[in-house]
Structure 1
Amino acid sequence: MKAAIIGYGRMGHEIERVLSERGHETALIIDAANASELDAAHLAGIDVALEFTTPATAYANLRTCIEAGTAVVSGTTGWTDRLAELEALCRQRNGALFYASNYCLGVNLLFRLNRQLAAMIGRVGGYDLTIGEVHHVHKQDAPSGTAITLAEGILAEMPGKTGWVDYAPGVGQAANRVEDPAEAGEERIVIRSVREGEVPGIHTVTYESEDDRLELRHTIKNRRALALGAVVAAEFLCGKRGVYTMDDLLRIS
């Protein structure tokens, strides 16, 4: 497989290592210094591009790949209010797009457990709910895409919840930011975002009643877990057409 890496930060470097380990060729690397080279000419002959950049650049990067006819895997978060546009473009152009907010297998299992637990708690009642996420100081968006996916899973299973808000003192900007968790009320889920050190990612869903506490928690030990999942997704996408997610890769209906 001939791959392009779009975004050559920590994740891009890890993806390059995993590609090499699995016998693939990194034929093109695009970063801020040569961003102008992300075009149809440079993408010619590329089987799959792996895009892990920033919320400000992801949409344009993915659109360029789709318009060039290059299959693309993306894990950039913080921009997905426009994802539906690219999915529609991909189908229109008979292209190939794979998007996930998190490529770690354990996290994707967490997503499914999270929905099942939310449905059960919704039937039982009597529990308050919060989501916590901790990431390294270099992560630009808050809350994380993984935390938002967890919140969306809960919203789909608990009719009493109508949305989510982010509580993240001193961390970036978010449209749903609150200064005090009490502002959320009972109908909205509070996501508490923290940025510290070099933490790859910790996500916790906590249900608490007057009598007990129940938690789902996932900790990523290193970026390799994410890079490996992204490369496996690229292998899955190679030669295909259409829009795919981790549900397709894991064959979960």
Structure 2
Amino acid sequence: MRILVLGQGKTGKLVADVAAERGHSVHVLDAKENKDAAALTPPFVAGFDAVIDFTAPEAAVQNMRACLATGAKMVVGTTGWYAKLADMRGLAERRGGSLLHGTNFSVSVQAMLQLATAMGAALKGAGYEFRITETHHVTKVDAPSGTAISLGEMVQNAAGVDNVPIEAIREGDVMGLHVLEASNASDRLVLTHESFSRRGFAEGAVRAAEWVVQQKPGSYDFRDIYTKL
């Protein structure tokens, strides 16, 4: 499979490495080579089976506009752009492209999201207060993280509560630490996920690309398909 990786940051580089390890042909474009998505012309994009984006929110939207308009199949691991999600889904549908997005491409994080739903449902109406703390490296652009926002949404829907508070901490080179806490006057329940490396994100993104090229055009959320990989 021919994969185009957009973004040559730490995660983007690892995505390229993992894709090559899995036997794929890989081409990487960094921000300078692809300013304002100028490199993503229809003939160029047509040379790839899948595009994987790990850039920045504004760049990701520009990249999606350029790639999805050609009917490309995209996996977007960048977060912080979801205000444009409906627009990007619509573009993919109109042009016969595929958009597979996710707040986190780690399979174990997806398991945490499912556990958060179960936790919220089990404690519904029992007087518990929920809070989330997330810690990431100082260069992460969006705060709170997309994963923390997803956790909050899961708990709110399952427990029937509003506005689960999220504390975002940026320090050092922390890969990702998410803590969901439920407490009342009697006790406390804590659910924690800690990433030691970006490799889990990279492997999930490459496997997602392998999956999406086999599917009909459309829009997919990684949380709905990760068990199929």
Please report the TM-score for the alignment, with normalisation by the length of structure 2: 0.94
Measured after TM superposition, the shift of residue 251 of structure 1 is: 4.5
* 2:206 maps to amino acid: V
Q: Distance in 2 between matches of 1:94 and 1:140?
A: 31
* 1:244 maps to amino acid: Y
Q: Which of 38, 41, 53 is the aligned partner of 2:40?
A: 38
CA contact (8 A) 1:236 1:249 kept: no
Q: Does the alignment pair 1:3 with 2:7? A: no
Q: Which of 115, 118, 122 is the aligned partner of 1:116?
A: 118
* 1:18 maps to amino acid: V
Measured after TM superposition, the shift of residue 68 of structure 1 is: 1.6
Q: Distance in 2 between matches of 1:159 and 1:251?
A: 29
Aligned to 1:171: none
Q: Distance in 1 between matches of 2:179 and 2:95?
A: 39
**What are the superposed Cα offsets for residues 46-70 of structure 1, whole Å, 9 maximum, x if unpaired?**
0000001111211111111111221
CA contact (8 A) 1:52 1:74 kept: yes
CA contact (8 A) 2:14 2:199 kept: yes
Measured after TM superposition, the shift of residue 239 of structure 1 is: 3.5
| Alignment of structure 1 residues 76-225 onto 2, 5 Å | 76-123=78-125, 125-161=126-162, 188-225=163-200
Measured after TM superposition, the shift of residue 91 of structure 1 is: 1.3
Q: Distance in 2 between matches of 1:30 and 1:38?
A: 10
SS in structure 2 at match of 1:217: strand
Measured after TM superposition, the shift of residue 238 of structure 1 is: 1.2
* 1:83 maps to amino acid: L
Please report the TM-score for the alignment, with normalisation by the length of structure 1: 0.85
RMSD: 1.4
SS in structure 1 at match of 2:33: helix
CA contact (8 A) 1:6 1:50 kept: yes
Percent identical pairs in the alignment equals 36
Give the number of equivalent residue pairs: 224
SS in structure 1 at match of 2:121: helix
**Structure 1: stretches of 5+ with no match in the other structure:** 162-187
Aligned to 1:52: 54
**What are the superposed Cα offsets for residues 82-133 of structure 1, whole Å, 9 maximum, x if unpaired?**
111111111122211100100000000111110111111113x221211010
* 2:60 maps to amino acid: A
* 1:216 maps to amino acid: L
Q: Distance in 1 between matches of 2:61 and 2:146?
A: 15
Which runs of structure 1 show a deviation greater than 6 angstroms over 4 or more consecutive aligned residues? none
CA contact (8 A) 2:179 2:193 kept: yes
Q: Distance in 2 between matches of 1:218 and 1:50?
A: 24
CA contact (8 A) 1:3 1:48 kept: yes
**Structure 2: stretches of 5+ with no match in the other structure:** none
Aligned to 1:61: 63
CA contact (8 A) 2:121 2:158 kept: yes
